Amino acid sequence: MGVTKHGLSVLIPILLITIVLWMIARIHSGWWWAGFGIFLLFFLFSLWFFRDPYRKISDDPLTIVSPADGKVIEIAKEQSDPFIKEPVLRISIFLSVFDVHVNRNITDGIVHSIERSKGKYLVAYHPRAMYENHRLRVNVISDYGKVAYTQVTGAIARRIVCTLKEGQKVKKGERYGMIRFGSRMDIFLPMEKVDVQIQEKEKVKGGATILARWKNS
């Protein structure tokens, strides 16, 4: 199991502080050991949080995979979408602080556009979080139809990382970013073109769990 490169900017400073506190504690002892212990635990937690496990990705071109680990909190029908321009199914996934936070592309395609929206920091499972929180949406055109997936911050998560660019080709299951320390993802799929393969309250794994299948018609 590796560690995502997006966590290095957090891990390296914590590790350096931990090493310095250890060196000072060896000389002065006392409360310095307590400080060392606190930062050591914080480093180990951060190392675990930024883990990036291997995932086997489906090679079936009709499958649409989960962009993240977490729990499906809602599957809803929406009558319109500004990019897909037809009725869509929205699948909302809540990522707790204990889930893997590396995000992955859900299907092969080309990035049509990337939309960044500044907003609030409501808890990620709040019904209004997908509309009011700080978020980043990726719109993709695949061979079978248009899809979109949105990274949404939460009460603790304050930074969204996305490495994609407009016009870029993406591959299903490929890593493209993360949201730090608890968050949410919303996936938008054309309702008439897909068959959903999961249910509400189901646990999913990024890149490994199949959320839906394109109808082969």
Task: Give yes or no: residues 41 and 68 share one domain.
Answer: no
Could you list the active site residues?
A: 183
Q: In terms of DSSP bridges, do strands 183-190 and 135-141 run parallel, antiparallel, or are they unpaired?
A: unpaired
Q: Do 107 and 201 fall into the same domain?
A: yes
Whether 89 and 192 have beta carbons less than 8 Å apart is answered as no
From the list 209, 217, 211, the residue with the least C-alpha distance to 90 is: 211
Beta bridge partner(s), residue 151: 136, 185
| Residue 12: other Cβ atoms inside 10 A | 10
If asked whether residues 195 and 136 sit together in one domain, one would say: yes
Answer yes or no: do 75 and 46 share one domain.
no
Measured distance CA(44)–CA(50) in Å, rounded: 10
Residue range 75-98, pLDDT digits in tens: 999 998 999 999 999 999 998 888
If one counts the domains in the chain, the total is: 2
Distance CA 106, CA 109 (A): 9
The enclosing H or E element of 27 equals helix 8-28
Q: Which of 10-14, 167-171, 181-185 has the lowest mean pLDDT?
A: 181-185
**pLDDT tens across 7-65, in order?**
888 889 999 999 999 999 988 888 889 999 999 999 998 888 889 999 999 999 999 99
User: Which domain covers residue 6, as residue numbers?
Assistant: 2-52
Same domain? For 133 and 177 the reply is yes
Q: How many angstroms separate the CA atoms of 192 and 212, rounded?
A: 12
For the entire predicted model, the pTM comes to 0.86
In angstroms, the CA 150 to CA 148 distance is 7
